[in-house]
Structure 1
Amino acid sequence: MKTFDIHKVRADFPLLKREVNGKPLVYLDNGATTQKPQSVIDAIIHYYSDMNSNVHRGVHYLSQISTDAFEVTRRKVKDFINAAEEVEVIITKGTTDSINLVAQCYGKAFIGEGDEIIISAMEHHSNIVPWQMLCDEKGCVLKVIPMDERGMLDMEAYAKLFSDRTKIVSVTYVSNALGTINPVEEIISVAHKHDVPVLLDAAQAVQHIAVDVQKLDVDFLVFSGHKMYAPTGVGVLYGKAKWLNAMPPYQGGGDMIKDVSFEKTTYNELPFKFEAGTPNIEAGICLAAAIDYINEIGIDNIKAYEDELLAYATAKLGEIEGVRIVGTADKKSSVLSFVVDGVHPYDIGVILDKQGIAVRTGHHCAQPIMDQFEIPGTVRASLAMYNTKEDVDAFIAGLERALNMLR
């Protein structure tokens, strides 16, 4: 196993060297987006400097090398999540786009009036609203797995939600607002006993923990590039070929067709059936560079380091009087969400920013979670592999300064 060298890792991220408000940047908003290593930045420059062209359509040299590079990403994603076939990897705009694709396409093929969809109480809005829209359109029913005061799903209640009308389960792998790592193996196993497919929102998972779609036996899995050190505007939908082949396409246009006339259109084969129009080629190609970077360090090394850092930060935060951590599940990934008695999260975030410390405040696109805890929002410090105990110490010191001003 390779040794995790935090100093080398930090040196790979040029933006971490800058100052904000005259202070060294402490970037703790990785749940929103991650910074980019130099290798990914170089890949962006290389694409536009040496190979910029449209993909899948041209016979000329630049189009061919761009197409080859774009398809290299598909192969690397396949290996990264251990998909069975490359055709099971659909390149999308991101997690939100991927979930909407499944909601619309699977919904059109398999969901009708009175059918039921199961999600959980800890979902990001992107895994709530598309299903609500489908329910409004189709007259189907949304059921919600309840969550306890620690931010853990009630698995006994989950098992009781199924009926002969249940058509799909769609849940987050890791909560963006709480850091909870859900028992996805059990979630999938229970659903499959009812012959119901499962979608996992892995936007907060693939950059932190090893994900093996075949071992999980998951039917759909979605994630975004920009949360795993790649550019914005690219994401992935993994789907078992049997489901993708049975679903109609999401959008019409170039590349998703085999033959077009004014009388009839024949759709393309997988994966292109779901990839209408010119994609975000640069981001698609550079996703491969981000995967290479993660693989070079080793996802297990990343997890071990981040787990240690999260434990350190949790202990330090717990020492501050009046702080209440929101989300105390047994298994968590790199998120610390908290509130402070008598202080609004926004005010804390503003004062931390003045000290060069970047956190996120608000409901984190997970408003039902905040409603359950009866709070307006939280302060969220979300960690990445390039964060350090020194970052945590600076955050804690900055928080204490903020609270001295606000209380």
Structure 2
Amino acid sequence: MSLNIENIRGEFPILHQEVNGRPLIYFDNAATTQKPLAVIEALSHYYKTDNSNIHRGAHTLADRATRYYENTRSLLQSFLNTKEVEEIIFTKGTTEGINLIASTYGRKFINAGDEIIISAMEHHANIVPWQMLCEEKGALLKIIPISDMGELDIEAFDSMLSSKTKLVSIVHVSNTLGTINPVEEIIEKAHAIGAKVLLDGAQSTSHLEVDVQSLDCDFLVFSAHKLYGPTGLGVMYGKREILDSMPPYQGGGEMIKEVTFEKTTYNELPFKFEAGTPNIGDVIAFGKALEFINKNGKNAIKAHEDELLEYATVQLSKIKGFIPVGTAKNKISVISFNINGMHPFDVGMMLDANGIAVRTGHHCTQPLMQRFGIEGTVRASFSVYNTKSEIDSLVASVSKIAKIKNK
């Protein structure tokens, strides 16, 4: 399936503007993707015509809102190939999903002397909750080292696994390096010694086919806003038998069956983990983002992004003073780099002056920056609506910037 990129670009209103007198080139997709008009209009339509609380109302607006809301959950079941629709839990984002698991599964099942394994390339959201849990429980946090190319040291991981390992929480795809980790192998090895596995899918769900039954992961978390959907919304998948064993994350409405002052009984999945009025409008709008992906095809989108990555990698590598950070063999469409002798913030500001939006800094992966001995990087990340001509503009701008310090 070949994509008509110009037609796709026409679906994204934000792309058709000038920044600093230049046509906007948006290469900050790993931070958040832009939204197609269908998503924007769905959000507006909900508040104009269907605004109502869901599940408990007996009137027409409540019925419509509930059906549209739950339709998105059904789309997600297909998107992830979950065994049951009830294994889809709506959250505020990837960060809340990880914190939910740490606060419920972690507090119930992690004990003093137990071990949790993460990697050296984790986002802060997949580091800090486990540090907090380990401090509280007296457990030990172990870190899988990485190579200079930005690939996991699987032999080191193998040596860490033991009967004390209770959880492996690993990023599927690095937001900073673009590295695709061998999660199938990690899951199989962790399960062999009885450990559960959580995948941070914030980047992988945007670029790869993710089949949770095939992967056999125990948990998966990701954010809607990296999938052409609204901000402030995320998804947590968990195997039913594990979710059933976990206590609720928050108390309040919807997550209960019956409340008395003597005792409260909790609701069934997924509502046990969805206390209070949910983010109804954004969930409905996210359904349109999933339909956009399905319409264009995940494999076709990935093929286009892979082509952009290969082209940009070759062209940027020709620039004197260009220093790539993260050169794994298996990557998604992310290029992190520095220019010899220049601070990444300065490079980012110069690119912005040319209308090119990139991310600069540590990308919420400070331990990873320390591993490479740098303060941060410039990160260009590509999505389905980006083009080779935009990359040509990036290369031309980076080349001019590099000449300032590398004559």
- TM-score norm. by structure 1 comes to 0.98
Matched with 1:134 is 133
Aligned partners of 1:5 and 1:176: how far apart in 2? 27
1:396 CA displacement: 1.0
1:302 CA displacement: 0.6
Matched with 1:384 is 383
Does the 8 Å CA contact 2:308/2:388 hold for their aligned counterparts?
Answer: yes
* 1:303-350 residue CA offsets vs partner (Å, 9 max, x unmatched): 111111100000011000111110000100010000111110000001
1:137 CA displacement: 1.1
Where does 1:3-402 land on structure 2 (aligned, <5 Å)? 3-402=2-401
Give the match's secondary structure for 1:206: helix
Does the 8 Å CA contact 2:200/2:222 hold for their aligned counterparts?
Answer: yes
1:406 CA displacement: 5.1
Aligned partners of 2:118 and 2:98: how far apart in 1? 12
* 1:135-154 residue CA offsets vs partner (Å, 9 max, x unmatched): 11111110011101000001
Aligned partners of 1:363 and 1:173: how far apart in 2? 19
Give the match's secondary structure for 1:170: strand
Mark the runs of 5 or more structure 2 residues left unpaired by the alignment: none
Aligned partners of 2:288 and 2:135: how far apart in 1? 40
1:397 CA displacement: 1.1
Does the 8 Å CA contact 2:319/2:402 hold for their aligned counterparts?
Answer: no
Aligned partners of 2:340 and 2:38: how far apart in 1? 43
1:47 CA displacement: 0.8
Does the 8 Å CA contact 1:108/1:248 hold for their aligned counterparts?
Answer: no
Aligned partners of 1:406 and 1:286: how far apart in 2? 46
Aligned partners of 1:87 and 1:406: how far apart in 2? 56
* 1:248-305 residue CA offsets vs partner (Å, 9 max, x unmatched): 0111111101100111110101000000111111111111110000000000001111
The total of aligned residue pairs comes to 406
* 1:356-394 residue CA offsets vs partner (Å, 9 max, x unmatched): 100000000001110000000000001111100011011
Aligned partners of 1:194 and 1:284: how far apart in 2? 37
State the superposition RMSD in angstroms: 0.9
Moved over 6 A (4+): none
Give the match's secondary structure for 1:143: strand
Aligned partners of 1:68 and 1:34: how far apart in 2? 26
Does the 8 Å CA contact 2:322/2:402 hold for their aligned counterparts?
Answer: no
Aligned-residue sequence identity (percent) comes to: 58
- AA aligned to 2:241 is K
- TM-score norm. by structure 2 comes to 0.98
* 1:52-72 residue CA offsets vs partner (Å, 9 max, x unmatched): 111122111111111111111
Give the match's secondary structure for 1:207: helix
Aligned partners of 2:377 and 2:16: how far apart in 1? 28
Aligned partners of 1:150 and 1:400: how far apart in 2? 23
- AA aligned to 1:278 is T
- AA aligned to 2:402 is L
- AA aligned to 2:232 is G
Aligned partners of 2:83 and 2:32: how far apart in 1? 29
Mark the runs of 5 or more structure 1 residues left unpaired by the alignment: none
1:405 CA displacement: 4.0
